[in-house]
Chain A
Amino acid sequence: MSEDDERQQSPPSDLEFVSNKARNCNATGSGSGHPEFQSTYPDQVLENVLENVLHFLTSRRDRNAASLVCKSWYRVEALTRSELFIGNCYAVSPGRATARFTRVKALHLKGKPRFADFNLMPPDWGAHFNPWALAMAKAYPWLEKVHLKRMSVTDDDLATLAELFLGFKELVLVCCDGFGTSGLAIFVSKCRQLKVLDLIESEVSDDETDWISCFPEGESNLESLIFDCVECHINFEALDRLVARSPSLKKLKLNRYVSIGQLYRLMVRAPQLTHLGTGSFSPSDIAGQGDQEPDYVAAFAACRSLVCLSGFREIIPDYLPAIYPVCANLTSLNFSYANITADQLKPIISKCHKLQTFWVLDSICDEGLQAVAATCKDLRELRVFPVDPREDNDGPVSEVGLQAISEGCRKLQSILYFCQRMTNAAVIAMSKNCPDLVVFRLCIMGRHRPDPVTGEPMDDGFGAIVMNCKKLTRLAVSGLLTDKAFDYIGRHGKLVRTLSVAFAGDSDMALKYVLEGCPQLQKLEIRDSPFGDAALRSGLHHYYNMRFLWMSSCRLTRHGCQEIARAMPRLVVEVIRSADEEEMDDVVGTLYMYRSLEGPRTDAPKFVTIL
C-alpha cells in the first residue's frame, strides 16, 4: 500500500474522493491501459473500497486495530467511525476527539469511577458533560445519540442537546446527576425527533416542573421512555395521553409514583410493549376500598410481546398473580425492589422457563434461590441484592443458595451475590458447574469473614473461580483473603479486565501478583487493603494499558504516588482528600489515576491534588 504523499493536499471526504477520481487520472499517469479506462487513481480505489468496507466494522476494538495498520487506514477508519466510545472522559479532550473523528453520530461517554456510587468520592469531583456538549454542537450538528454514564449533566446541557442538534433521537443517562425536571422539560419540548429517553439510576432533582406535559403534541416517535429512577410526582393524565399518541412505544418504565390502577390504564393503551417497569405496583392511597378493581390479569395477558418486566417499587404481593400470563415469555425479570418471600416468589418463578436475567432481593432466602434453580435452566445473569445491607452474622441467603444456583443454572454467565456468609465449597462448586462465567462478583458483607465451616480464608474459592472459569473477565472478591488469593488471580486470571478488591490481602505482594500477572487488567478498584508504595511501583509497566486505578484507604504515601507521576508523564495521578485531611499530609486517602493524552485537567476541585 503506497503512502499517501500525493494525496496530502486534499483532506479526505467521500465527496472529494468522487471528484478527485476524475481530476487525478491525468496528474499521475500511473497504471497501465487505455486512457479511457484509467478513470481512477489506484490508491484512491483502495481507499474507497476501504471506506465502504470499514462502514461495516462496528466493534470498536476491531476499529482500533484497523486504525493502526497505516496512515491511510487510520484516516479512513476515523472517517467511518460513527459511534464514538470514550471510557474515561478525561483521557482525551473533546477537541482532540472531534478533530480525529469527523462524522460521529453517536457518543458514549463515561465519567466517574464506580466507587463514586458508594460515596467514596466527594460530590463535584468532575466529569462534566458541558465541554463535550459544546464541542459536539460545533463538530457534529447531525449527532443523534448520546449515552452517558456517571457524568454530571446540567439542565443547560439538556437544553443544548435539544436545541443544537436538530435530529437528536436518543438520550441515555446512567448514574448521572446534576439536572432536574426543569432540564427534562426543556429537553423533551424541543427534541421533536426523540425516540429514546432512558434515565437509569440517575439522580434527578425535583424542580416541581411537569416535564411529562412538555412533550410536543401530535404523534410522537417515542420508542423507549424509562424514568423509574425519577423521584418526583408526574402528571399521570399527560403521561396517559403521551402513551396514547406513541404508537412505536416499546419500552416504558414508570416510577414509583404511578399506582397499579394507573399502570392498568397505560397497559391497555400500549399492549405492544416489550419492556415494562410497573411503577409502585400498589394502589394509590386515594383508591376507595369498595371500588371495582380493574382486571389486571387481562391487561398482562394482552401484552403478548412482553419479555422484560421490572418495577414493583412498593409492591403489595397480593397483586403478583396478575403477572402470571406473561411469565412464560419473560427473558428478564427484575424483582430487586420487591421485598417478597420465597412462597410469594415460587408461583411466579415456576412459570419463568425462559428467564435469562433475574434480579432479586435476598428476602426470597435460599429457598427462593432453590426455586429459581429448579426452573430457570436458561439463566445467564443473576443478581441478589440485600434488603438490609448491614454487616451481620446471619442473613437470608448463604452458600446454600449459591450451591443450588450453580447446580440448576449451568449456563450462568454473570452473578452478583450479596450474602452474610459463604463457604469455599460452594464457590468451588460454582466454578465447576458454571464454566461459562464471565462475571463473578461475590460480596460477603461481613468484612474479613472466613469460611464459617472450615474457618479458612476464602482464597481457595476465588482461586477455583479464576482457574476453572476460563472466560472470566470481571471479578469482585470479599471475605477473609490472604495474599494467596491474589497469587491465584495473577496466575490464572489471564483474561480479567475488571477487578474489585475491598478489605483484603496481607501485604504488597497481593497487589504485585495482580499487576504482574494479569495482562488484560484495565480497571482496578481497591479499598481498605494494606497495599503501599512498593506495590504501586510494581505496576509501572502496565498502567498505560489501563483505564484507571483506584486505591482508597490503603497504605499509599504522597511521595510514593509522586514517584509514579514522575515516571509516567501520560498518567494523571489524582490524590483526593477527604474533609478531615490536611493538604500536605503524606498519607494518601484516595488515589485515582488514569492515562490521558491531555495532562492534568483544568476543572479539578480544591480537594483534588494532581501530582
Chain B
Amino acid sequence: MSSENGKRLLETDAGGLNFEATELTLGLPGEPRVTSDGGAKLGSKRGFSETVDLKLGDNNQEVKLGHSLQEAAKSPVSKTQVVGWPPVRGFARRGKKSCKYVKVAVDGAPYLRKVDLEIYNSYQQLLTSLEDMFSCFTIRNYLNEKKIDQVNGIEYMPTYEDKDGDWMLVGDVPWQLMKSSEAVGLGLKTAPKYSSTN
C-alpha cells in the first residue's frame, strides 16, 4: 500500500523563502552545512523524478518534459523535504479529501499538463508552478505586473475558462472563488489556457 510521498512542492513555497537556509542535510542540528569531505553534501538529495517532471501528488501519466525543462524544474522542488523520505510510496494519495484537477494548455506547446488546484493557496503559487512547468515560455505575472525574465520575447497571459465557457483573466476573482467555481462540473472540462499576446 502506498501513501502520498509528501511532495507538497508548493505548499511550502510561501514565497521569498531562503531555500539554502532551510535545506536539510545530514547531521545534528547546529552542525555546519558543508561537510569536511567536500563534495558530498549528505542528506541534501538530488531528486530524480522530481527534476524530470513535477508529479504534483498524483500519478496521472504526464508527458515527460524535455531536457531544457529539467533545469527549470529543479528550483521549485521543495527544498524543505528530502527526496524519498519518509519512505511512503507515491502511487496514490492517501486520505486526500478532494482534488481539483484542471488541464493546462499553452499555445504553441505540444502537450498539456494536469494541475491540482487544491494544492495551491494563492495565484502566486499557481503561476510560479506553471511558469516552471512551461519554462520555455514567459508567463506574465499579471497580478504584480512584474516582468519575468524574457526567454524568447513572447509573453503569455494566463487565462482560464470558467463554468460558463467564458475566457477569464487569471486574477480577476479571489483565489478561493476561482478554485471552487472552476472545479464544478462533470469531468475536468475547465482548462486554464494560456494564449499568446503580441
User: A residues near B, CB below 8 A?
Assistant: 115, 117-123, 175, 180, 201-203, 205-206, 229, 231, 285-286, 313, 334, 336-339, 359, 361, 363, 383, 385-391, 418, 443, 445, 447-448, 500, 502-503, 527-528, 530, 553-555, 578-581, 585-587, 589
Q: CB-CB < 8 A to B47: which residues of A?
A: 119
Chain A-chain B contacts (Cβ-Cβ < 8 Å), number:
145
Q: CB-CB < 8 A to B59: which residues of A?
A: 203, 231
Q: Which of B1, B39, B47, B88 has the most CB of A within 10 A?
A: B1
Within the complex, which residue of A122, A363, A385, A500 is in contact with B88, where a contact is CB–CB below 8 Å? Answer: A385
Q: Give B1-55 interface residues, CB cut-off 8 Å to A.
A: 1-6, 8, 24, 26, 28, 37-40, 42-43, 45-52
- The answer to whether A363 and B95 touch (CB under 8 A), given A336-B1, A578-B46, A587-B40, is yes
- Whether B49 pairs with A553 at a CB distance below 8 angstroms is no
- The answer to whether A553 and B40 touch (CB under 8 A), given A123-B48, A385-B3, is yes
- Whether A339 pairs with B95 at a CB distance below 8 angstroms is yes
- Interface: B125 (CB within 8 A): no
A526 to chain B, nearest CB (A): 12
- Whether B81 pairs with A555 at a CB distance below 8 angstroms is no
Q: CB-CB < 8 A to A503: which residues of B?
A: 26, 43, 85
**A334 CA / B94 CA spacing, docked (Å):** 12
28 pairs of residues in contact across A and B, judged by CB atoms under 8 Å: A117-B89, A118-B5, A118-B90, A119-B47, A120-B48, A201-B2, A201-B91, A202-B91, A229-B91, A231-B59, A339-B94, A385-B88, A386-B88, A389-B3, A389-B86, A390-B6, A390-B81, A418-B88, A502-B85, A503-B85, A527-B84, A530-B26, A553-B26, A578-B48, A579-B48, A581-B46, A586-B39, A587-B40
**A337 CA / B28 CA spacing, docked (Å):** 34
Q: CB-CB < 8 A to A447: which residues of B?
A: 24, 43, 82, 85
- The answer to whether A383 and B90 touch (CB under 8 A), given A118-B84, A122-B49, A553-B40, is no
**A596 CA / B49 CA spacing, docked (Å):** 28
13 further contact pairs, Cβ within 8 A, besides A118-B90, A389-B3: A117-B2, A118-B89, A119-B47, A206-B61, A231-B58, A336-B3, A339-B96, A361-B3, A389-B5, A445-B86, A502-B85, A553-B42, A579-B51
In the A-B complex, the 8 residue pairs with the closest CB atoms: A339-B95, A118-B84, A389-B6, A205-B61, A578-B46, A122-B48, A387-B95, A385-B3
- Interface: B75 (CB within 8 A): no
- The answer to whether A119 and B49 touch (CB under 8 A), given A203-B59, A503-B43, is yes
Within the complex, which residue of A117, A339, A390 is in contact with B97, where a contact is CB–CB below 8 Å? Answer: A339
- The answer to whether A553 and B43 touch (CB under 8 A), given A120-B84, A123-B49, A180-B61, is yes
Within the complex, which residue of B1, B39, B50, B92 is in contact with A359, where a contact is CB–CB below 8 Å? Answer: B1
Within the complex, which residue of B2, B3, B84 is in contact with A119, where a contact is CB–CB below 8 Å? Answer: B84
- Interface: B186 (CB within 8 A): yes
- Whether B4 pairs with A203 at a CB distance below 8 angstroms is no
Within the complex, which residue of B51, B87, B95 is in contact with A361, where a contact is CB–CB below 8 Å? Answer: B95
- Interface: B150 (CB within 8 A): no
Q: CB-CB < 8 A to A231: which residues of B?
A: 58-60, 92
Within the complex, which residue of B3, B42, B81, B88 is in contact with A530, where a contact is CB–CB below 8 Å? Answer: B42
User: B residues near A, CB below 8 A?
Assistant: 1-6, 8, 24, 26, 28, 37-40, 42-43, 45-52, 58-61, 70, 81-92, 94-97, 186
Q: CB-CB < 8 A to A589: which residues of B?
A: 46
Q: CB-CB < 8 A to B97: which residues of A?
A: 339
Within the complex, which residue of A418, A553, A579 is in contact with B70, where a contact is CB–CB below 8 Å? Answer: A579
**A286 CA / B184 CA spacing, docked (Å):** 11
For A285, give the chain B residue with the smallest CB separation.
B186
Q: CB-CB < 8 A to B96: which residues of A?
A: 339
B122 to chain A, nearest CB (A): 20
- Whether B94 pairs with A206 at a CB distance below 8 angstroms is no
- Whether A361 pairs with B2 at a CB distance below 8 angstroms is no
**A123 CA / B1 CA spacing, docked (Å):** 20
**A241 CA / B70 CA spacing, docked (Å):** 45
Within the complex, which residue of B43, B61, B94 is in contact with A336, where a contact is CB–CB below 8 Å? Answer: B94
For A363, give the chain B residue with the smallest CB separation.
B95
Q: CB-CB < 8 A to B70: which residues of A?
A: 579
- Whether A118 pairs with B61 at a CB distance below 8 angstroms is no
- The answer to whether A337 and B92 touch (CB under 8 A), given A206-B60, A553-B43, is yes
For B58, give the chain A residue with the smallest CB separation.
A231
A360 to chain B, nearest CB (A): 10
**A445 CA / B84 CA spacing, docked (Å):** 11
- Whether B48 pairs with A119 at a CB distance below 8 angstroms is yes
- The answer to whether A119 and B94 touch (CB under 8 A), given A443-B87, A555-B37, A587-B39, is no
For A390, give the chain B residue with the smallest CB separation.
B6
- Whether B49 pairs with A229 at a CB distance below 8 angstroms is no
For B94, give the chain A residue with the smallest CB separation.
A337
- Whether A383 pairs with B1 at a CB distance below 8 angstroms is yes
Q: CB-CB < 8 A to B43: which residues of A?
A: 447, 503, 528, 553
- Whether B83 pairs with A119 at a CB distance below 8 angstroms is yes
B25 to chain A, nearest CB (A): 9
Q: CB-CB < 8 A to A180: which residues of B?
A: 61
B81 to chain A, nearest CB (A): 7
Q: CB-CB < 8 A to B49: which residues of A?
A: 119, 122-123
B94 to chain A, nearest CB (A): 5
B159 to chain A, nearest CB (A): 25
- The answer to whether A118 and B94 touch (CB under 8 A), given A231-B60, A336-B3, A390-B6, is no
- Whether A121 pairs with B88 at a CB distance below 8 angstroms is no
Within the complex, which residue of A122, A385, A390, A554 is in contact with B1, where a contact is CB–CB below 8 Å? Answer: A385
Q: CB-CB < 8 A to A587: which residues of B?
A: 37-40
- Whether A338 pairs with B88 at a CB distance below 8 angstroms is no
Within the complex, which residue of B24, B45, B84, B91 is in contact with A203, where a contact is CB–CB below 8 Å? Answer: B91
Within the complex, which residue of A121, A443, A553 is in contact with B86, where a contact is CB–CB below 8 Å? Answer: A443
Q: CB-CB < 8 A to A445: which residues of B?
A: 85-86
Q: CB-CB < 8 A to B2: which residues of A?
A: 117, 201
- The answer to whether A338 and B89 touch (CB under 8 A), given A201-B2, A553-B40, is no
Q: CB-CB < 8 A to A530: which residues of B?
A: 26, 42
**A18 CA / B125 CA spacing, docked (Å):** 76
- Whether B52 pairs with A390 at a CB distance below 8 angstroms is no
**A363 CA / B94 CA spacing, docked (Å):** 11
Q: Which of A203, A313, A385, A389 has the most CB of B within 10 A?
A: A389
